């Protein structure tokens, strides 16, 4: 895709915006256009005002063209820390800041020589993960990094086989660090076979959540403890202070009909299994690879690699998900909302960023919301839609944005990253 171009009305606005771009490489504006060979070089408008939101909410684009932006966190002083899945100019994290408080980003800085996804702030430190380990940076009282050149190595030696290797992180209130280690094997299949390994040896080092000490340097994988298992790839993860518990959203497995056409049609492969949202306690087993969750039958089903036929319920003692979403949506970020800007019903609820699309819903590339009442989840709903910029039923062009990360600002605004065009969205609420 070609570089994003600004679309402004009036020569003065164009000149002003280009001058800002020259000095900061950041674009603070509310609309943009892109060109694409798939659209015969025509301009395809993608405007923040076209993001579909509930009444009273509005979106704006703070920056674009940053690179493959993944997870994000924001300090109490407003400093934004955004991870990159690939290095840019040899660095893997952005510091973005509105230094003069005028509501636009006017400062950017790249730091950290490792790419990755996970990032969070806790107890005076910024925790940031590579695909093999976790680092942390000491922060000042405004939660700004004191020394960008000297991170502490907290954990090293985590499995990285190139697939599903992101290492999202969370820190609880008792000094524990949680790290996702996703599986690189779709369903723990034996090489050259449709049969699954039994037991699945991958679970010894992946397909779960590991716990380490948040304040101890130079830990290795062997120093950690497997906190929960049977979680294929929990890219979304957050510690909820309200319920004092760890929550994750996990990606489901891939196709069924390629090796098991006697049990599954192509349509079933496109609509199964559910993407899942779990509350995890120590020792929990979510069942991967032996089972999957079928949101049509509302039950755990024995995987075909382990003798299942698409109907047989699993005898495994695996936990049930809190919420089951349609297949292949790609839940890439999870964030519990604790701010005061949004209406009361959003407080203590969970936002989830979906990175892909569902053939069942003909929807995707969106941010969903799960309300929580007394610690119990309610029915999920689409909160922010149309990041794709095209009709997913009959797409007329390429996908424009893929939501990937979520963060809450000091004022309670919601920030959304996009790893396709490196865009940062800010979602505000104003009572009418």
Q: What digits encode the pLDDT tens for the residues 291-337?
A: 999 999 999 999 999 999 999 998 778 999 999 999 999 999 999 99
Domain for residue 175, yes or no?
yes
Bridge partners (DSSP) listed for residue 84: 69
Domain for residue 412, yes or no?
yes
Q: What is the CATH number of the domain that holds 313?
A: 2.120.10.30
- 190 alpha-carbon distance from chain centroid: 29
pLDDT (0 to 100) of residue 7: 33
Q: Can you tell me the distance from the alpha carbon of 358 to that of 187, in angstroms, rounded to the nearest whole number?
A: 20
Domain for residue 76, yes or no?
yes
List the one residue out of 40, 44, 35 whose CA is nearest residue 3.
35
pLDDT (0 to 100) of residue 46: 57
Q: What's the full length of the chain, in residues?
A: 432
Q: Global pTM?
A: 0.89
Q: Can you tell me the distance from the alpha carbon of 95 to that of 146, in angstroms, rounded to the nearest whole number?
A: 13
In angstroms, the Cα distances linking 290 to 62, 67, 406 are 44, 37, 31
Domain for residue 100, yes or no?
yes
Q: How many CB atoms lie within 10 A of CB 399?
A: 19
Q: Can you tell me the distance from the alpha carbon of 172 to that of 55, in angstroms, rounded to the nearest whole number?
A: 34
The boundaries of the domain holding residue 240 are 11-429
Structure tokens at 250: 């996990």
Where does the pLDDT of residue 30 fall: very low under 50, low under 70, confident under 90, or very high at 90 and above? very low
Model confidence pLDDT, tens digit, residues 201-222: 999 999 999 999 999 999 999 9
Structure tokens at 97: 């800041």
- Range from 226-230, 251-255, 256-260, 312-316 carrying the lowest mean pLDDT: 312-316
Domain for residue 280, yes or no?
yes
Q: Specify the number of domains making up the chain.
A: 1
Residue 246, C-beta contacts closer than 8 angstroms, at least 6 positions apart: 170, 172, 178, 209, 227, 228, 237, 238, 239, 240, 279, 280, 281
Mean pLDDT, the chain, integer: 89
Contact 107, 82 (CB under 8 A): no
Where does the pLDDT of residue 103 fall: very low under 50, low under 70, confident under 90, or very high at 90 and above? low
Domain for residue 3, yes or no?
no
User: Has residue 14 got a pLDDT over 90?
Assistant: no
Structure tokens at 431: 């009572």
Burial of 213 (0-12, 13-18, 19+ CB in 10 A): middle
Domain for residue 314, yes or no?
yes
DSSP string across 172-223: -TTSEEEEEE--SSSS-BPTTSSSBPSS-GGGGTSSEEEEEETT-SSEEGGG
Domain for residue 2, yes or no?
no
pLDDT (0 to 100) of residue 194: 87
Residue percentage of the chain with pLDDT more than 70: 89
């Amino acid at each position: 895709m070609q570089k994003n171009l600004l679309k402004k009305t009036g020569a003065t606005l164009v000149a002003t915006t280009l001058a800002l771009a020259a000095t900061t490489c950041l674009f603070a504006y509310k609309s943009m256009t892109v060109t694409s060979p798939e659209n015969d070089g025509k301009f395809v408008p993608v405007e923040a005002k076209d993001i579909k939101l509930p009444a009273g909410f509005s979106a704006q684009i703070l920056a674009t063209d940053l690179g493959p932006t993944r997870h994000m966190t924001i300090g109490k002083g407003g400093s934004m820390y955004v991870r990159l899945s690939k290095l840019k100019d040899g660095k893997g994290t952005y510091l973005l800041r509105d230094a003069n408080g005028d509501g636009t980003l006017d400062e950017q800085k790249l730091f950290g020589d490792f790419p990755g996804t996970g990032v969070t702030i806790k107890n005076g430190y910024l925790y940031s993960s590579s695909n093999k380990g976790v680092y942390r940076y000491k922060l000042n009282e405004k939660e700004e990094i004191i020394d960008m050149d000297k991170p502490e190595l907290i954990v090293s030696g985590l499995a990285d086989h190139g697939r599903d290797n992101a290492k999202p992180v969370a820190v609880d209130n008792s000094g524990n660090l949680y790290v996702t280690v996703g599986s690189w094997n779709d369903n723990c299949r034996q090489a050259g076979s449709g049969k699954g390994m039994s037991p699945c040896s991958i679970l010894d080092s992946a397909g779960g959540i590991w716990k380490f000490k948040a304040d101890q340097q130079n830990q290795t994988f062997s120093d950690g403890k497997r906190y929960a298992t049977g979680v294929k790839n929990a890219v979304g993860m957050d510690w909820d202070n309200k319920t004092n518990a760890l929550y994750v959203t996990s990606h489901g497995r891939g196709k069924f009909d390629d090796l098991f056409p006697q049990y599954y049609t192509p349509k079933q492969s496109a609509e199964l299994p559910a993407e899942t949202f779990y509350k995890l306690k120590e020792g929990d087993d979510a069942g991967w690879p032996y089972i999957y969750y079928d949101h049509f039958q509302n039950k755990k089903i024995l995987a075909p690699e382990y003798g299942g036929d698409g109907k047989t319920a699993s005898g495994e003692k695996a936990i049930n998900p809190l919420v089951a979403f349609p297949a292949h949506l790609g839940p890439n970020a999870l964030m519990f909302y604790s701010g005061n800007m949004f209406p009361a019903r959003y407080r203590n609820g969970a936002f989830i960023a979906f990175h892909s699309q569902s053939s069942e819903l003909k929807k995707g590339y969106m941010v969903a919301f799960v309300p929580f009442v007394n610690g119990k989840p309610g029915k999920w709903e689409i909160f922010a839609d149309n990041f794709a910029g095209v009709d997913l039923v009959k797409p007329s062009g390429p996908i424009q944005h893929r939501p990937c990360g979520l963060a809450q600002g000091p004022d309670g605004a919601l920030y959304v990253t996009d790893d396709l065009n490196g865009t940062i969205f800010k979602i505000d609420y104003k009572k009418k």
